[in-house]
Structure 1
């Protein structure tokens, strides 16, 4: 196995990255295209590959509402890699995925891989045992949420769960083996990337889904009533963008209960992510200082209130128990001095989005001259339009400000914004792959507040011309960010 990168990037090292989710690779998995993408990054001097959360999603495929804070998405497992390992035949790779995984499991039982699988199960038992039971029960009940299961399973009767584990031991082993395949392929990809001086940059949502193994296995850590129903749900208050705010529907943490074991659930969650990634972004970081709690019976976010969270104690515990971890704070939106103080106390890099920089005054914190060194700077994120799409649809006063700033009334987009990002002071500059390819709004990854036609975009290798690669390499080098 290739040697991993020993020196994670720091604010002392100007670096560049590309944002691309695994599902947006041509094959959408951890096979040859993932390795080819690493080669592309290394050849252009890029040293960071940022993805969205890689956990197992619900049927809407949103990586921000997952069945587990630990379990990887089996859709990302490369069947070609299983053929290379001799776990399945080339013809078997065309079967449905669950059949393929069954064949691979039966083959693995007769090989040295099985011993490695057993070690994996032992190392990850803190979450894997509960997850496999949860997924088994959920599949048996046609994806019904755990809170609607029969009482003995909903309330985790030890006798009922032990009987289930014995009765369905092989089905549970298959679920765990599937996770073993995912983790094995991911760790191999990470080792390859690190050997090419490319680091993997992950992402975790601050909250977890109500219908998840995490809440089912640890109900005492969430604000639930005696019937396991949520008393309050997460969201954000009304603002300039929405008169009713956003009601996300995630359960809130019972922070007092988490504090009793030194935030072990959070530490274990981040320990898993630190195994998979070199850097980790915490989505909605401001929720670690205070989060918007909405009464569960409310249909909108209007009736919510701010509830203080123990971010200082939590981060202190995380860094004490995981001293080598590298975190990034998603601090977009309306951020209070208290949130800034928490981020700065732990020297977490914040995020700056250039699409937010124009249309206001010279004090806009996203303007390049306002960006501090300890920042990760983007043209846009997965929640924004592509830069070309944004430019085509932006309001007149935004375009006027941008043209005045660039001293150019006919800038080439997205090239002009990419150059601003790369030449900014922030230590890490990230460009979404859509902007690398110069694509429009039809290639947008996600539109917040909508549930249709999100998370589907994929690129194709013919789209990535030599000119695209050369342009990226040149701007990375010119900005002093190349690691080639």
Structure 2
């Protein structure tokens, strides 16, 4: 089945209170997708973010981001007033997120809603807590302890707390009972609002593609509450951490810092944690994109404490065995494998053995020095083609920046010598749409023809990522009709 979709993070939606959320604007965007003949809305990870604001470094792989809770729904329910919400400082630039101001305002306003909620008398809330206690209890406790200790990483907590001494945990549970319920309440709101939004999309014939990072953050409820799953020493410090080796883009490689899995231990449990993680993801999404798929074949291990990735080495991952267990448990589910970068023969075999579609990025296709698997004539049907991802420049920005040889190759390939950066986004969108790839997903910035100022993330940099927001009203009727016409023309409706 040929289909088309749009990539747009929740954070990048327009909304009243400083950051995209499950607000009216999200429902409006779904209406736009339906009108434009789109069948997919791809988002980024939904977890609560920490240092650097990256959705790939979350405090929990299971929890939802409190920033996404729609305050207007809470106003309608009488839990907040419009005056209270508008009195907060959410930042003053509708095109960029001020995370510091969001952080300082969002929890205060949600605490007001909680204090008025009488939530402990809600049977729906109690049922939600019971159903999700296998991850929710540890998450709410972890966040409450973290707050009480001024935000310190769990690696800096007292020894008994760090190692989860039962008596110490009981003491903190009693001491922080109100905070723990508050964090559970936030997750309940998130779940109710997201479930409602996802149902609305599904009713319109639109599937949600969710994104899960292969790794979890070191400072997370996941690592603290499941220490046996990771390569940690007796002091609970990582033995080694994740990253990427040096390449032509970075002579020092990439040092991500995530703890690495103890795959032998996972194997001894028949990969129970991973199966639960993927299963839970399919409660949230219709299709799951697994980030850094090659890490299941081989993963790059960097000694903890190293300042760069230069000293890292490749180690064997679980391979096909994990996915056999997953298939036995979940059956036929839709997974997209993020298989970008240099791929060895064993990674290619693993992808083929799973049957999952990989990814093709048009921005990677036009390297005039060599033939590329990303050129559309090399695709097979079982893949997902993108003009770019959240880690890429926009098409307009990319075309401005590439060298003249690569630009000429792009122009020759499209066979249009009149190309310029006013229309290059549509040339590339059409190239992606008319390819044989079953699924085509276009970042919203490329549909809108935006320049590099709309880029979402530049890997290995800090300070200016994850901030871009779409402005309200940027999808004109003319633009929606054009997108629908092209989607139909290339057999994706």
Tell me the TM-score normalised to structure 2 length.
0.92
Report the Cα distance in structure 1 between the residues aligned to 2:62 and 2:119, rounded to whole angstroms. 28
Instruction: Tell me if 1:102 matches 2:94.
Output: no
Report the Cα distance in structure 2 between the residues aligned to 1:298 and 1:171, rounded to whole angstroms. 37
Could you tell which deviates more after superposition, 316-325 or 453-462?
A: 316-325
The match for 1:465 is: 476
After superposition, residues 225-240 of structure 1 pair within 5 angstroms as 225-240=233-248
The match for 1:246 is: 254
Q: 1:110 to 1:406 in 2, by over 3 A?
A: closer
Report the Cα distance in structure 2 between the residues aligned to 1:419 and 1:255, rounded to whole angstroms. 43
Contact 2:119 2:185 in 1 (8 A): no
Could you tell which deviates more after superposition, 293-302 or 461-470?
A: 461-470
User: Cα offset for 1:85?
Assistant: 3.0
Aligned residues: 469
Instruction: Tell me if 1:56 matches 2:65.
Output: no
Instruction: Tell me if 1:317 matches 2:328.
Output: no
Write the deviation string for residues 333-359 of structure 1: whole angstroms up to 9, x where unpaired. Answer: 001111111111111010000111112
Contact 1:363 1:370 in 2 (8 A): no
The match for 1:439 is: 450
Q: 1:322 to 1:87 in 2, by over 3 A?
A: farther
Instruction: Tell me if 1:19 matches 2:7.
Output: yes
Unaligned runs of 5+ in 1: 1-12
The match for 1:74 is: 66
Contact 2:230 2:260 in 1 (8 A): yes
Report the Cα distance in structure 2 between the residues aligned to 1:108 and 1:313, rounded to whole angstroms. 46
Contact 1:359 1:399 in 2 (8 A): no
The match for 2:368 is: 360
After superposition, residues 64-463 of structure 1 pair within 5 angstroms as 64-94=56-86, 96-109=105-118, 114-360=122-368, 363-411=371-419, 412-463=423-474
Report the Cα distance in structure 1 between the residues aligned to 2:363 and 2:108, rounded to whole angstroms. 45
Write the deviation string for residues 184-221 of structure 1: whole angstroms up to 9, x where unpaired. Answer: 11111000000000111010111111000000001111
Instruction: Provide the aligned C-alpha RMSD in A.
Output: 1.5
User: Cα offset for 1:362?
Assistant: 7.4
The match for 1:40 is: 32
User: Cα offset for 1:318?
Assistant: 1.6
Could you tell which deviates more after superposition, 316-325 or 340-349?
A: 316-325
Q: 1:318 to 1:468 in 2, by over 3 A?
A: same
Write the deviation string for residues 49-97 of structure 1: whole angstroms up to 9, x where unpaired. Answer: 0011110011321111111111110001000011223333333434643
User: Cα offset for 1:111?
Assistant: 8.8
User: Cα offset for 1:402?
Assistant: 0.8
Structure 1 residue ranges, 4+ long, deviating more than 6 angstroms after superposition? none
Contact 1:154 1:216 in 2 (8 A): yes
Tell me the TM-score normalised to structure 1 length.
0.94
Partner of 2:52, secondary structure, is coil
Q: 1:110 to 1:402 in 2, by over 3 A?
A: closer
Partner of 2:241, secondary structure, is strand
Write the deviation string for residues 163-199 of structure 1: whole angstroms up to 9, x where unpaired. Answer: 2112222210110010110111111100000000011
Contact 2:23 2:72 in 1 (8 A): yes
The match for 2:101 is: none
Report the Cα distance in structure 2 between the residues aligned to 1:359 and 1:99, rounded to whole angstroms. 50
Report the Cα distance in structure 2 between the residues aligned to 1:142 and 1:107, rounded to whole angstroms. 26
Report the Cα distance in structure 2 between the residues aligned to 1:363 and 1:453, rounded to whole angstroms. 33
User: Cα offset for 1:258?
Assistant: 1.1
